[in-house]
Structure formats: structure tokens, C-alpha cells
A and B are shown apart, each in its own frame.
Chain A
Amino acid sequence: MKKRIIAFVCAVALMVVAYPTTYGSAIEPEITIISAEIDNNGVFEVIGQVKGVAVGTQVSFLMCPKNAWDTTGRIIESKFKADYIAYIDQVGTGNNGTFIVQGQVSEKWENQTLRFAGASSYGGYYTQTMSVPEISPYDIDIIDNNSVIYGRDAYLVTGAFYNADNIATSIKDGGNRIYYKLGGKWYDLLDPNALDNSFLVSKNAISDSKVEECKPRYYYNMSEKIELNYN
């Protein structure tokens, strides 16, 4: 937890430095957005490109409500604080300068238009808006594909919390249960017929109600621990 706080503080400090200096000016290299999507769980994905930079170039990413930006697209300094930050991150580029930002905004931002912006460590700047839909309740529907329920908790396999120690605790608390989500459907991997991945087809899926019966306690996504509700 302490490491995460330190990382957040460092990221904020970097943004404070980066944004006023790169903002609004036509600095090369050019940054473009290839796609930007958000679902009704608040989970978003932005794929962009910084042209002409090396693999590993750092891209800072900031998402705030529209009223945190001035008319020229500059972040308003007095609003550069936690209450106005919907999401902040820093990612590295791959081939062709391509980068992916994946995250989630809280229900606090539902039905609002957010503006996101970014700057690369070699200069360049982009800004674009994204409308957040009504956010669904935090129940099992928010669990992403490629996630597993072990015992009482759900984990995104690519997430930071997915490790043997955490999984062991979840199984200890909730019993030996392994449900895997793929294509929006759940599969019981302890089913005697689950011999290999050919089992992962719709006809073998279990119902959502069976998953809800076990009342998963937390969902550990990419970087957050989310308490699930059952009202």
C-alpha cells in the first residue's frame, strides 16, 4: 500500500512538471489516439501512438472532468488535485510508439464527460474527451474476462494482486472453487469434463446465478481491490 501511495505521489509530481511545459504547444513528436473506449463498469482503454519515438518512451496520462481544463485545453492549476483526478497513470510505448492505457473510473464520474490528456517524455501532447456512461453496481458483472474466482475472491489474471499467496488466502476463506471468465461467460474449472481449453465454449458455461451464489467478496482488477455488493 505504501509503495502504491509513493508511486501515485511520484506520478502526480511528474504530471505537475510535464503538463504546463508541454501543454498547448505544437511540439513534435505527434501523439494520436487510435481508439478510446469505456464500458458501463467504468473500465476504459485508450490506445494511442507517439510517432517517431523509441520503444519504452514514457507517456503520462491524466483524466479529469471538463471543468478542470481551461478553454485552451490547459489544466487549471487550482484543480490539479485528487478531487478532480479521475485517473492518472504513466505507461511505456511499444513498437511504432504505440501505447495502451487501461484503467477504471469510479461511479463518482458516471454520466459526466471527462477530458483526458497525455504527454510523452520527448514532448508531444494530446487531449480528447470521453463520456462516462451510468456505472453498473459493483456486482459480479464488473468482473473482466480473463479473471478467475478462487474461493471467495475474483482476480484479473493480468492484475497486480494475482499471486499464489493471495489466492491461497482466498481459497482458505472460501473453499476450493475455481471459476474462470471468458467471453462474458463463467466456466467451472473443477468440472470433471474440464480437461483442456476445448471446454471453454458456451455450452459448458455455468449460469451467472450459480456464480452469485458463492458471493465473491472482492474483485482484484488491474490495480484496485473492489468490494462487491449483492442487494
Chain B
Amino acid sequence: MFPSVLNTTNASIAVTVAPKILWIGFGVVFVFASVMSIILLYHWSNYGYKPIKTGIIGALYFTGVVILLGVVFFSIVSYLGSF
């Protein structure tokens, strides 16, 4: 009487992610990264025993953060431009 196997593979729903949600998400990540960066920078500048070494590490850290935030930003822009 009832089908034993439901054919669900063809029943997919098309979803459009609203730009607002994407930008709010990016904002949350940006604020989180900024707060963590300020905390780390404070520690390196106030408690770092050798400023040169913490300077190099700081540069490395910020390079990584900027690159990754940039990738997120341009991925969102590219996604929104792909409709």
C-alpha cells in the first residue's frame, strides 16, 4: 500500500541565501577576528619579552588574517554576483 523507499533524490529545494545573511555572517567573523587580534596585539606589545620576535610573529599573524578575511569577502561578492 505504501512505498517502502521514498525517492527523495529528485525532490531538492532550491534555496537562495539572502545577501543580508551573508554580510551579517561576514560582520560577525570580522568582529571576532578584530577582537582576537586586539587581545593578541595587547599581549605581544605589553608582555612580549623581545619586541622584534613578537613583531615578526605579529606581521605573520595579520598577513594570514587579512588574506583569509579577503578570501571570505571576495567569495561572498563572487557568490552574489553569480546569479
Do the two shown chains form a genuine complex with each other? Answer: no
* Chain B residues near A (Cβ < 8 Å): none
